[in-house]
Structure 1
Amino acid sequence: MKETDLYEPCKTLLESQGFEVKAEILKTDITAIKDNYIVIVELKTTISLKLIYQAIDRQRIADKVYVALPKKVIGSRRGSAKDFMNLLKRLEIGLIAVGTHAEVIIETFGFDLKKSINSSKKQKEKLIKEFSLRKSQSNIGGTSGKVMTHYKERVIEVAKYLYLSGEKSPKEITLYTGIKDVPNILTKNYYKWFVRVSRGIYTLTDVGRSEMEPYFLDDMIYE
């Protein structure tokens, strides 16, 4: 079982409790929010000290933190598994077992060290902002490497418009897409998708066109 295999069962569990769920928000595997109450779930296939470190770090910005593991790992009779569960209880970190479905094995009552939370207020606000602005559901929790961010979503919208329209000015792109930071996106050109063909006029590079082609080959319609 891979970490990504744990994602859908955990997502279903949280959604059944009324949470809105998204993956890979500021390096969290799963973030779920309901009425500004934040739950974070870290996905792993093995028990490790690194997992504990990650969960403790997430407590700084979440109201409740769980770790999710395959059911067969949790069901081990070895002393290490039992010690791990006792440690989670002491640290007020919840545990979710994942088999054909996900279920909570250890419940928590939230991390109550207000000083720690207050010291991470900006990071928590950043998490909520990225969560609320993210439109794509293409991310899968537990993914390694590239993930979709709100910034990349905006860059893709600009590139898709240029793919269809050819050469346009930042003003024209802004009017069509509603994206306010188009000039910054074109100037930064993080993904090397854009090129200025004349003063104030931009189009796609060959790299940009090749990156956009799948959106239209799959009959995706730009609105």
Structure 2
Amino acid sequence: MPLKIKESDLYQPIKNHLQALGFEVKGEIKDCDIVAKLGDQVIVIELKLSLNITLLLQAVDRFSVADDIYIAVPKQCTIYKKQAKQVKKLIKRLGIGLIIVDVQKTTQYVEVVFDPQDYTPRKNKRKQSALLKEFEQRIGDTQKGGSTRAKAGLTAYRQRCIRVAQYLLTQPMAKGAEIKNAIGEEQATQFLSANYYGWFEKVERGVYQLSKKGINELPEWL
């Protein structure tokens, strides 16, 4: 059966850890869970059993009274176990440190995952390039921000496929090269062949027409 712990169970292991580093440590000072002092350095640690927005707001507020701020949660913290990478990225970006406490029946372990630090996120050039490519290729502002995934499907790729499908409404059968020349879509042949949305079907080598699925779905996008 999992050991049930309280916020106060995190206090003593952290106090012991800080005292071993030479800090003087006291609990519950002016609403701060832990205050530690070493020379002129003052740190504040906020204790919680779970990571949530209240804890983050509380920790950010402590910058007005301390040099360094830490958040401390138990190792069993659900959101940390499931989304450790994202949680660490968020806390780092706030300039806050993170402490994990492993509370067991006979002993406790304290791990300083990272100290407070200035955080400059590294850009993912590949993802940024894909974002800007979609932005540039999208014709108009086709989706409201916050739309559900089911409705947020009018990508630049789909827009280009729609143009190909529209041509096949006027010319029931056509080759990719013909469509390319007629509407100026350089990848018409690739769209027909890939048939990502199931809108096209091959009639004969190189010749395509709209599928039943295409005929039924196309009006929803026009």
TM-score, normalised to structure 2, is 0.46
**Larger-gyration structure (1/2):** 2
TM-score by length of 1: 0.46
Higher RCO structure (Cα 8 Å, ≥6 apart): 1
